[in-house]
């Protein structure tokens, strides 16, 4: 277990459980917490024993109830831009991570919390989860990618509705809209679901998984031609030992043993 003040970081058999740990503040993201998430992801990128990540919130009530409003309230225009760009950069590092990252949303995922969950590759919610972008109630707008990723995930009309009304939606509504992958009755079954998905992905060729993430992310990058990225990535796979192993194993009617090489 790596020591942090505001997050818990535990590597359990190759699956990192990263818990935002400020339950008395409903796990609100202050600058220190964001710095710790950034540091944790530097470890996740570098540590080859890590196969996947589950991000969740401590306590019964919240995943993350937003950026810390006590810090936002003090921001000047110059610092607000830095604040937004800093969060966007850290969330982009999550989105671009070559290892699967699942948000286990176990309560309020509001503002920066909804944005954090959307930077993850998938969302598994407990039945009591609530999603929303309530920034307009504070006279601001989402600053950690909420206007962009919510639109990517649920489409323009619903994204505008949620971003303009500040309304919260239930886990089931979020699933219907395509924001959530799975809804589970409680935290225990949600962890089991996340682990089941991550273990399944861990049995595949890791380099191919990283390239799938790059190619799907390329859809939303206007500077990039996603089809070209896909063709290049497809070709790059043929140079890996795992490609030889995967195709050979199929032909020999045995299970592939991938090494991430």
Q: Which is nearer to ligand COA, 31 or 50 (CB)?
A: 31
The site for ligand COA (CB under 6 A) is made up of 25-26, 28, 65-70, 72, 108, 110-112, 134-135, 137-138
Minimum distance from residue 38 beta carbon to ligand COA (Å): 19
**36, 115, 184, 195: which is the annotated catalytic residue?**
115
Our answer to whether residue 135 is catalytic in this structure is yes
* Strand 168-170 relative to strand 122-126, pairing: unpaired
What is the chain's Cα-based Rg? 19
d(CA 177, CA 179) in angstroms, rounded, equals: 6
62 has which bridge partners? 108
Angle in degrees, CA 134, 177, 192, rounded to 5? 95
Q: Which is nearer to ligand COA, 24 or 222 (CB)?
A: 24
Our answer to whether residue 115 is catalytic in this structure is yes
Q: Which residues contact 188 (CB under 8 A, 6 or more apart)?
A: none
Structure tokens that stand for 249 in this block: 């194993």
Minimum distance from residue 137 beta carbon to ligand COA (Å): 6
Q: Which is nearer to ligand COA, 146 or 206 (CB)?
A: 146
Minimum distance from residue 188 beta carbon to ligand COA (Å): 23
d(CA 150, CA 94) in angstroms, rounded, equals: 16
**36, 60, 135, 161: which is the annotated catalytic residue?**
135
Q: Which is nearer to ligand COA, 115 or 242 (CB)?
A: 115
Minimum distance from residue 144 beta carbon to ligand COA (Å): 9
Angle in degrees, CA 63, 200, 190, rounded to 5? 25
- What positions carry a catalytic annotation? 115, 135
């Amino acid at each position: 277990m790596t020591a942090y003040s505001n997050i818990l970081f535990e590597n359990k058999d190759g699956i990192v459980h990263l818990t935002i740990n400020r339950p008395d503040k409903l796990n609100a993201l202050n600058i220190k917490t964001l710095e710790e998430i950034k540091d944790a992801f530097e470890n996740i990128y570098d540590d080859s024993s890590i196969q996947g990540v589950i991000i969740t919130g401590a306590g019964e009530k919240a995943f993350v109830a937003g950026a810390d409003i006590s810090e936002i309230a003090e921001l000047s225009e110059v610092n607000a831009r830095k604040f937004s760009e800093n969060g966007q950069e850290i969330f982009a590092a999550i989105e671009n991570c070559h290892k699967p990252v699942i948000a286990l949303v176990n309560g309020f995922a509001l503002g920066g919390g909804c944005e954090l969950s959307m930077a993850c590759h998938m969302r598994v919610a407990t039945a009591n989860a609530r999603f929303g972008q309530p920034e307009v109630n504070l006279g601001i707008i989402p600053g950690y990618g909420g206007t962009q990723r919510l639109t990517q995930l649920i489409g323009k009309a619903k994204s505008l509705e949620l971003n303009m009304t500040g309304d919260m939606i239930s886990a089931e509504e979020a699933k219907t809209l395509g924001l959530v992958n799975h809804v589970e009755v409680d935290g225990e079954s949600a962890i089991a679901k996340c682990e089941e998905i991550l273990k399944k992905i861990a049995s595949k060729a890791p380099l191919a998984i990283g390239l799938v993430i790059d190619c799907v992310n390329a859809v939303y990058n206007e500077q990039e031609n996603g089809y070209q990225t896909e063709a290049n990535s497809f070709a790059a796979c043929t140079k890996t030992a795992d490609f030889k192993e995967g195709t050979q194993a199929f032909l020999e009617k045995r299970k592939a043993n991938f090494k991430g090489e």
